[in-house]
Amino acid sequence: MRTLCLDLNDQNIDSTIDSFMAFSSRLKFRNPGYLFADITEAVKDFDSEEHFLKELKSFNKEFYPKAKAAIATTPIHAQVFTQTDNNYFYCDPSKESEILHQLPLSCLHQLEGLVAWSSQEEVEDIITFFRVLGFQTLGDIKSFELHSFQQRWGKTGELMWKRLHGYEKQIITPLKNEFNFVDHVDLQMPISLKPYLLLQLENHIRKLLNNVKSHNKETNKLMVYLHCEYNYDVHVIEILPEANFLNLIYVYEQLDKKLLNIDFSNPIKKFDLEAFACRAKPSKYTLWHQQAEKRKANNKTNLDRGQDVISGFLPAQINFEHEQDSYFDLFDSLNLDKVDINGIKYPLASVSPQRFFTYDLSDHYEHQLEIENINHYQMITPLERSLIETAYGSVDRGQHYYLALDNKYQKVCICFDQLEQKYFKVGDL
């Protein structure tokens, strides 16, 4: 077994545990600021333990600059090795005993692992006793017999002797993820209109699926329970994926269809959402990048923008800011000579920089794109909302704009309307 000990120097680590569960369910958190993880399987996603620690160091540099980490065969040894000069230390199993013998007696304080000493003062008394006798390292006191430790220091002495000789077995048991991917919503007023109910459902489903993905999981089933105002009636909607997992656009489409079969003469007063999640395929460095993005998002006070949800075509990101004199200069903003599609590079026609035309809302909706037609377009890049010139005074519907190629490799601009959850072709470029 290969065990990671992460010492965050008394910092709170509760919010980090969920991210570690993305690649290992065998976790143990212990105050003050220690996290132990069985990374035997997780290290296989990296080239080596050295690369694993290198990526961990890069992650901690931003959020936990004083953190220390070590990898060893047992939690006890891993914690002790966090006291070495190397803040990110990994040890070959064949050399652990040799390195352990060379450490100073002060490391007895860290000879804990999953279970802390009952009294650090008692451990300090033991260290002082051996120093008075002239012993300086852990290897110097390892030759003493078990009964010597028991006779002088009782249970603490017995436990210390077992830990020095590796006789205390500490197993990191799986940490159950007690987080349920559910959402309960009590509506302020009963809803009897399908469009308004659909909008309420979409907002909460987007947040729920974001939550699932933040735990490095995918949704393979979604249950919607609509509670009526009268007679305790409940409408149950089950949404299953076409392939492996659900995506946001597909969920919206299925909801729209299934709500057609519901009689809204008995209004909906509340609804429950339940997402059934399964573990996504782990990938190299996913943990650290996800945690970094999660912490950056937590520091913002803007609205939920569905950044982590990958739809069938384009990610939905909402921007409600409006600038009166904004304009879009496509080729000053993007340096694109070629576009790679299915492994083949296609040259883009050279066009001199030009300003985007001003489109009113009525222009946006002249060319609606059906769901089945979205796949005919290849997204190049999302365009910032501030780069698009819109008619001043028009209603902001949270539109998102994207540069894309059609099946003839012509550049087009695609608009996504957040309120209607539909795509529109704005114009050719």
Give the CATH number for residue 265.
Answer: 3.30.1490.100
pLDDT value at position 124?
Answer: 94
Given a contact cutoff of 8 angstroms between Cβ atoms, the answer to whether 266 and 191 are in contact is no
Are residue 24 and residue 152 in the same domain, yes or no? Answer: yes
Are residue 24 and residue 119 in the same domain, yes or no? Answer: yes
Angle at 232 between CA 231 and CA 237, to 5 degrees: 125
Residue 207, pLDDT above cutoff 80: yes
pLDDT value at position 389?
Answer: 52
Given a contact cutoff of 8 angstroms between Cβ atoms, the answer to whether 204 and 255 are in contact is no
Residue that wins the pLDDT comparison between 47 and 106: 106
Q: At which of 260, 281, 302 does a domain end?
A: 281
Q: Rounded CA gap, 297 and 248, in Å?
A: 20
* Assigned domain for 174 exists: no
Spatial CB neighbours of 428, under 8 Å, sequence gap ≥ 6? 410, 411, 412, 413
Are residue 203 and residue 255 in the same domain, yes or no? Answer: yes
Are residue 144 and residue 207 in the same domain, yes or no? Answer: no
At 328, the pLDDT band (50, 70, 90 cuts) reads very low
* Assigned domain for 58 exists: yes
Once rounded to an integer, what is the mean pLDDT over residues 280-297? 52
Helix (H) or strand (E) holding 330: helix 330-333
Which residue do the tokens 């540099």 mark? Answer: 61
CATH of the domain at 144: 3.30.70.270
Once rounded to an integer, what is the mean pLDDT over residues 71-75? 90
Spatial CB neighbours of 112, under 8 Å, sequence gap ≥ 6? 76, 79
* Assigned domain for 325 exists: no
Helix (H) or strand (E) holding 243: none
At 242, the pLDDT band (50, 70, 90 cuts) reads confident
Residue 123, pLDDT above cutoff 90: yes
* Assigned domain for 175 exists: no
Are residue 22 and residue 123 in the same domain, yes or no? Answer: yes
Are residue 158 and residue 26 in the same domain, yes or no? Answer: yes
Residue 299, pLDDT above cutoff 60: no
Are residue 131 and residue 202 in the same domain, yes or no? Answer: no
At 292, the pLDDT band (50, 70, 90 cuts) reads low
* Assigned domain for 318 exists: no
Given a contact cutoff of 8 angstroms between Cβ atoms, the answer to whether 107 and 138 are in contact is yes
pLDDT value at position 395?
Answer: 54
Are residue 43 and residue 147 in the same domain, yes or no? Answer: yes
pLDDT value at position 67?
Answer: 83
Residue that wins the pLDDT comparison between 298 and 69: 69
| DSSP assignments along 143-158, one per residue | TS-HHHHHHHHHHHHH
Are residue 117 and residue 30 in the same domain, yes or no? Answer: yes
pLDDT value at position 360?
Answer: 44
Are residue 249 and residue 392 in the same domain, yes or no? Answer: no
- Minimum mean pLDDT range among 61-75, 171-185, 383-397: 383-397
* Assigned domain for 305 exists: no
Are residue 26 and residue 136 in the same domain, yes or no? Answer: yes
Mean pLDDT for the chain overall: 75
* Assigned domain for 80 exists: yes
Full domain range(s) for residue 399: 330-428
Q: Rounded CA gap, 400 and 59, in Å?
A: 31
Residue that wins the pLDDT comparison between 162 and 180: 162
Once rounded to an integer, what is the mean pLDDT over residues 336-357? 52
pLDDT value at position 344?
Answer: 63
Give the best-scoring range by mean pLDDT among 44-48, 147-151, 327-331. 147-151
Once rounded to an integer, what is the mean pLDDT over residues 208-218? 82
For the chain, what is the domain count? Answer: 3
pLDDT value at position 279?
Answer: 63
At 330, the pLDDT band (50, 70, 90 cuts) reads very low
- Minimum mean pLDDT range among 36-40, 135-139, 415-419: 415-419
pTM: 0.45
* Assigned domain for 296 exists: no
Are residue 118 and residue 42 in the same domain, yes or no? Answer: yes
* CA neighbor of 288 nearest in space, from 23, 10, 14, 89: 23
Given a contact cutoff of 8 angstroms between Cβ atoms, the answer to whether 292 and 56 are in contact is no
